[in-house]
Amino acid sequence: MLKLPETLRENVRLLGELLGETIHAHEGEELFSKVEGIRKLGKAINKAENGDSAPLVAMLSSLDDQSILPIVRAFNQFLNLANIADQEYFSSAEAEAEDKLQALIIELAAAQGKDALTELINKLRIELVLTAHPTEVTRRTLIRKYDQIVDTLADRQNPSLLVFEQDKLRGRLHRLVEEIWATDEIRTTRPTAVDEAKWGFAVIENSLWQAVPDFIRHLDRLTQRHLGAHLPVDIRPIKFYSWMGGDRDGNPNVTHKITREVLLLGRWMAAELYSRDVYSLGGDLSMSEASDELRARYPDSTTPYRDAMYDLRQRIQSTLEWAEARLQGRSVEVPADLITSREDLLAPLMLCFRSLNDVGLPHIANGPLVDTIRRVHCFGINLVPLDVRQDGDRHVQAIDELVQYLEIGDYRAWSEEERQAFLLEALTSKRPLMPASWPMSDETAEVLATCRVVAQEPREILSHYVISMAQQPSDVLAVALLLKESGMTWNMPVVPLFETLDDLDRAPIVMERLWNLEWYQQYSAQQQTVMIGYSDSAKDAGKLAATWAQYKAQEKLVALADKFAVSLVLFHGRGGTVGRGGGPVEKAMASQPPGSVKGRIRVTEQGEMIRYKFGLPRVAFSSLSSYVTATLRATVSPNAAPKQEWRDLIERMGKASLEAYRAVVRGHKDFVPYFRNLTPEQELSLLALGSRPAKRKSTGGVESLRAIPWVFAWTQVRLNLPAWLGTRQAFEYALQNDPQLLEDMISNWAFFSSFLDLLEMVIGKADGPICTYYEQQLVPVEYRGLGEELRGDLKALETLINTMKKQDVLLADEPMLRQSLEVRKPYVDPLNYLQAELLKRYRSSETISPDLERALKVTMAGIAAGMRNTG
């Protein structure tokens, strides 16, 4: 068996040792001994061929109430510390990502030609949209301490450290571990939408602010070295956007006031960061020799660059003070020198850049000054332009109320053709449709207030208007009309989001009808973003059927866009987990339909995955490199379109999977009570995870539950059902009907092999015996038959995957992952057993002590840490 790398193993051992010392010092010998006893039993079970969990369960059952909370906290923190060691190791191994990018550039330069590749790199547009889905379990205060541990572990790798320096760093680690132990890991209050936005801004400030210019500088060196060309100073291959404070779909806590506040907060934060940069540049740019252009601006100055930076900083300071006053609710005049566009920032920076090059100081020109210029191009004047997202039915409701008030008719009752005719007439009319004042519902008032906020703000700080559950062309036209009637002066891109299986199947028809409209052709200027929903389609149809539907929809949309000469960007609404479309970037991009990337892609980065991918500068650098590498590869050498026989077989497999999935989730009479009893779905509300409710509607069953808590709940009990249910039947169908063709698909179709690899990872994280224990503790006997069926499905699926991949054990070709899961298992399993016991107590008693309720919440956080994701 492959061992974990020595550095990683040593860091895990060291952090575990420090945690043990801390527990011993703070909780005493007796509790420390209990923790050690539980840990050793967990390891013994893991090492045995058929480990008996009875001794561990017996020991856990014998714990007194006072011991449960500190023991749960101990195992939770060990898992967090193991994740930190992982993060440090892989952040130190970012050379692998650098090597992949360099090797690809060399390869593509030989195949495509240096000029063609240079042009492609200059045109790259990778848009990463930060979203605040409630999956980040860890408190921000602890995240900061974890980041400090990563930095300290990295410092310890310096081979030239003296003994006292090593001791000093170990002492710092011990202090941080003690700080973590003395800090409550569970939030007591739910974060607001503004808090979530601040968290997103903090990721930019602490990591991306440095990582983005560092990466572009590295890319520039690679292109210079292998393509003989410098990258332009205004290049921005990767740009960040946000839904934090703009995503109101099913979240009543995101109002027009919140959106306005978040936009303002972004401008304030950007001004703060640029102020620091420009102050530093003023100190660096002390030279006096300048171009005639700069001299003309400062004719009598001996330090014209400093003067230029001083003037720019004054403008930034005015903007900072104005934004701060507005955030505090004070009424202030808009300063004459307010920064309202990136050009306000770029003009003096570029003036200095040109001057330094003109007078023969290119190394100074291409130093920190270029880094700041590239930050302006990437982050603009509010760090992340905001998307607005709203449920499509809210717009229908607003138009319907308006039409009924004007006594024009009943909009909801109209056919699609009638709706389009009305909307197009209103859109082309010079007369306003909407009265200054008219009676409307609170929901419609909020929709219109949001549109007015969007219309009043600078164009640069906004991005797209996304329509959830888009179903018809009129859904897009309705948004355009509401924006027009609210005073919009520019054509904000409207993005339909196709989420359910039916919506995905209908997406090409909807877009063809939309692109056939002459008015819309002019409005969109032949530019279109279409969003593909991964979470809700998988929840609706099961992973296999949804994944194939997503692929087909993208294929058809790409072909249609080519037919209409539309520049199409596919916006992938991926979640953190496999069940919600997550997975490694390289696999995701390689499995896209040919022609769907073309140097441009838009992807959501959700919840805790933002921290895992971008929380530290070195990790962010590696993630940016992976995105550029994968996008270049998918653009220049996409995988070929699938053979017709592959398509025919996976179509039939998808139908078998869909039928099996829905037969359980929708058709089995015991499914809902089994789900509700087995999982902590209802207890998840105890965790103050995010500003958004777990349900889109306050009523309804599983169908109204959001995809995130749906996945989270199944992950907690280690069944991971959303990612695999229905796939056994699909694979059995293929193996029975055409095993050779299935083998061909596995070997030669990246889309399918990627699906299989991700499925294998999910099954590798599942644990049938743990799920059985939950069932025995929590599920009434009359519902347990379904559990036996599901676990039988899971076991059969594991066998099928090993058969299809011709291996003896799961994850045979992923030994690092397999070893990592084995290291975590002795620490996750006790949390599962204790969680099941705590859930039983919580549900059977009218009261539970505050410490035990907190312990229950800590088990949720700990299991999430052990599985490395939540929703």
| Chain segment 404-449, per-residue pLDDT in tens | 999 999 999 999 999 999 999 999 999 999 999 999 999 999 999 9
Q: What is the pLDDT of residues 333-349, one digit of tens each?
A: 999 999 999 999 999 99
pLDDT of 535 reads 82
Q: What is the pLDDT of residues 796-829, one digit of tens each?
A: 999 999 999 999 999 999 888 888 888 899 999 9
Name the nearest CA neighbour of 396 among 513, 451, 325, 474: 474
What's the average model confidence in pLDDT over 44-58?
82
Residue 133 reports pLDDT greater than 70: no
Give the pLDDT band (50/70/90) at residue 122: very high
pLDDT of 536 reads 84
* Helix-helix angle 114-123:95-112, to 10 degrees: 130
Q: What is the pLDDT of residues 738-758, one digit of tens each?
A: 999 999 999 999 999 999 999
Mean pLDDT (the chain, rounded): 92
Residue 570 reports pLDDT greater than 60: yes
The rounded distance, in Å, linking the Cα atoms of 468 and 212 is 31
Lowest mean pLDDT among 495-504, 523-532, 812-821: 812-821
Residue 630 reports pLDDT greater than 60: yes
Give the pLDDT band (50/70/90) at residue 95: low
pLDDT of 105 reads 96
Most confident of 4-13, 47-56, 792-801: 792-801
Residue 97 reports pLDDT greater than 90: no
Are 543 and 722 in contact, with CB atoms under 8 Å apart?
Answer: yes
Q: Classify the C-alpha dihedral 863-864-867-871 as positive or negative.
A: positive
**Which tops the pLDDT comparison, 553 or 92?**
553
Percentage of the chain with pLDDT > 70? 94
In sequence order, the β-bridge partners of residue 498 are 532
What's the average model confidence in pLDDT over 216-232?
96
pTM, to two decimals: 0.93
pLDDT of 44 reads 87
Residue 581 reports pLDDT greater than 80: no
What's the average model confidence in pLDDT over 29-47?
91
pLDDT of 690 reads 53
Give the pLDDT band (50/70/90) at residue 831: very high
Domain boundaries, the chain: 1-93+820-870, 642-813
Q: CB-based contacts of 166: which residues, under 8 Å, 6+ apart?
A: 156
Name the nearest CA neighbour of 767 among 863, 658, 665: 863
**Which tops the pLDDT comparison, 393 or 83?**
393
Give the pLDDT band (50/70/90) at residue 698: very low
Percentage of the chain with pLDDT > 90? 80
Element (H, E) at 560: helix 543-563
CB neighbour class for 669 (10 Å; exposed up to 12, middle 13-18, buried from 19): exposed
Give the pLDDT band (50/70/90) at residue 557: very high
Residue 452 reports pLDDT greater than 70: yes
- Residues catalogued as catalytic: 133, 539
pLDDT of 696 reads 44
User: How many angstroms separate the first and last alpha carbons of the chain?
Assistant: 31
Residue 792 reports pLDDT greater than 80: yes
What's the average model confidence in pLDDT over 363-385?
98
Are 787 and 38 in contact, with CB atoms under 8 Å apart?
Answer: no
Name the nearest CA neighbour of 423 among 393, 455, 395, 452: 395
The rounded distance, in Å, linking the Cα atoms of 217 and 621 is 11
pLDDT of 391 reads 96
Give the pLDDT band (50/70/90) at residue 611: confident
